Structure 1
């Protein structure tokens, strides 16, 4: 009689890289919501379609608007997917509901029986694209600096954990320091952007009119974005 021997299959799971913006409200919430409305009026589409995590560490449980906070954010078109900075499930946190969603697949993984002996190869700290970024494209590199050897079209979005360098016309949106890097900067050969952002602070097109068409760098200074022309 012939006996068949089968190896035990490895458990397979899928990895997922998740990217979300964090909103950190200040007390009292009613005043903070008014400031949020003013920002949305200046850039109505900034939060459109973005997954948002709300950091509630600065809000006391006694704030009367806490339980309706997520409803208020959703009514403004802000897609809240979770909360952090709280102990226990308050009614406000319970109102989020559902699992974390969004992100991008990283491929298929096999879980081995034993941990690997060799250390994982270090991840790259910079990314260079030798082609332009087309309208509707989103480029995300949270590990470090992002360099575009070309132009960024209107309607495109480029995001980096470090600095952004664009050796062409920067239209669309450029968001640097997305992982909390206050030293990140934005450089471009010709500025024509819809929006730039560094570590959560941002400027819209009307704020940059005097630098339109110029070669610039943008950096943080305190709680402001400073743009200087590069001669």
Structure 2
């Protein structure tokens, strides 16, 4: 696997973590909204220091993800239960909620689960605390640069969309009997006004353009 620093942004989310259809429940997996607590669970949910431990459904509700997604994070090593009840149900501390939200934020940055696994491995394998944090800082610095570059691209697209919508706002004055082909030689718009690329691109591949000249 290539280093996180050289991996392209991944737009997909984790595979195999779609919610179950209504009325369908995999064996041993509860829906997050089921509201069911096994009879042996209540007595086991107090952790060290009196902290109330969480069931997987509690975490799913807190972060807005499915129970299956939480289980998947555990399967790939990104989440570990704090303890298990007498009935072997997974129990988590509050740090698990923070970890799942962290995974979600890295997803929003475009990182795949494999890249997030690598970040965790880099942190855990560091020989010292300062080195561990330096590694994380380096990764976050690159993500900041990529995020800012993406913001610049999106800002440019925003301006193009606004210009295109302004241009198209005048099209409702066109003769309703005109055929679509007339759009390549429109008489409604000022011919000195450049047609926005987001508009010109619609008919730009048919061999014609405004004024009859190829662009």
What is the TM-score when the length of structure 2 is the normalising length? Answer: 0.21
The structure where strand makes up a greater share of residues is 1
What is the TM-score when the length of structure 1 is the normalising length? Answer: 0.20
The structure where helix makes up a greater share of residues is 2
Higher relative contact order (CA 8 A, sep 6+): 2
